[in-house]
Amino acid sequence: MAQIVRRAYKYRFYPTPEQADELGRTFGCVRLVYNKALEERTRAYITEGHRISYMESSAALTRWKRTKELAFLNEVSSVPLQQALRHLQAAFAHFFAKRSKYPTFKSRKKSRAAAKYTRSAFRWRDGQLTLAKMRDPLKIVWSRPLPLRAQPSTVTVTRDPAGRWFVSILVEETIPPLAAVKTQVGVDVGITSLLTLSRPVNGLTGEDGKVPNPQYERADRRRLVKAQRNLARKTEGSANRAKARLKVARVYAGITDRRRDFLHKLSTRLVRENQTVVIEDLAVRNMVKNRSPARAISDATWRKLRSMLEYKARWYGRQVLVVDRWFPSSKLCSACGAQRESMPLTVRTWESTCGAVHDRDVNAAKNILAAGRAERQNACGAGVRPQRESSRTRQPAAKQEA
């Protein structure tokens, strides 16, 4: 059955000087409203024990606009300001539900410059997008078409640290499911090889079933180090330092763009060619606390790949199963089921008691697939848990073989 999903299409655009000034003021006002509302909420909770609601913050925003000091808030669209209060409300909801830390203030240099416009704050006509307080439509580079007869519900404008402008258009889209297939695949992630699959795939892996890790950050590390050293030599607050910071941001942007493009293509192919994809649950946030592999783990972006697999599987009628992080995928023999007591990371090939010789990663991928199949047959199977459920063990969060 086809699904109706809310999908965002992101495009780059080139604003006119007037539009850039208007958006720059809007970004500043959004940041100010967010920080001021956060300050008021914190003060009220500490001094009075009172939790300020969204409606109270909205009423306070109206009062701020009437003051002489903050009258400039009337010069920009009111919708992005209201959306900033909604984002703050959501941040506090996550905090009180113990899903995140206490909200922090937005920084002009470190926080993302963004403004969100709802349907009443923009005009969509004949394939052109015009934001509130602007006379001319945005000059958007349509790298791919929007769905036929799509009507945007919200528009988010952002400017990244490299100075590039982007607009994200949220629409409702009907996505038909893919034709069912019988293939299933187990996925073991790594650093030397980004993925190891339980079976080889033509054009994607070698004969050993391994997907090489592009290591985009490592490939551009020399350029990055050079740009960062140049930045460190500049005087704080000078124009030359701002130019040097922009060069560093552009190097990072190139790394991020190539990595994202690679992960999108990889995840799309895995979802299209397999009915079920079984992956391993990893506590990446805790793993990067180890300084030795932290840089390589961050460059691999396992968490981003998992997120892509999960939402694309929902779109196209596929299934992603997650094996518990404590499942001994590397220690088990995929042929006879015998388990070794220990498996140091230096051991890449080992021989089981039955005489089978295993590549460590390929064997782990086969065991992950077998555990996923067991979970489908028995939802309460040992060592396997449903998708997105956090581990309740109190052991250090790391891969079992580590």
Catalytic residues: 188, 280, 361
* Tokens standing for residue 91: 């941040």
Q: What is the rounded end-to-end Cα distance, in angstroms, of the chain?
A: 42
Single-letter amino acid code for the residue at 158: T
The rounded distance, in Å, linking the Cα atoms of 367 and 371 is: 6
| Dihedral angle of Cα 170, 26, 35, 109, to the nearest 10 degrees | 90
Q: Are 168 and 155 in contact (CB under 8 A)?
A: yes
Hunting for tokens 């969100």 — which residue is that?
Answer: 116
Distant-in-sequence, close-in-space partners of 281: CB < 8 Å, separation ≥ 6: 322, 323, 324, 325, 385, 391
Q: Are 154 and 122 in contact (CB under 8 A)?
A: no
The CB density around residue 157, as the number of other CB atoms within 10 Å, is 24
* Tokens standing for residue 74: 């009337």
The CB density around residue 31, as the number of other CB atoms within 10 Å, is 20
| Dihedral angle of Cα 209, 275, 386, 369, to the nearest 10 degrees | -30
Q: Are 156 and 165 in contact (CB under 8 A)?
A: no
Residue 125 vs residues 131, 232, 366: alpha-carbon distances, Å: 12, 47, 52
Cβ-based burial of 98 (10 A; exposed 0-12, middle 13-18, buried ≥19)? exposed
Single-letter amino acid code for the residue at 225: V
The rounded distance, in Å, linking the Cα atoms of 40 and 53 is: 11
Beta bridge partners of 351: 357
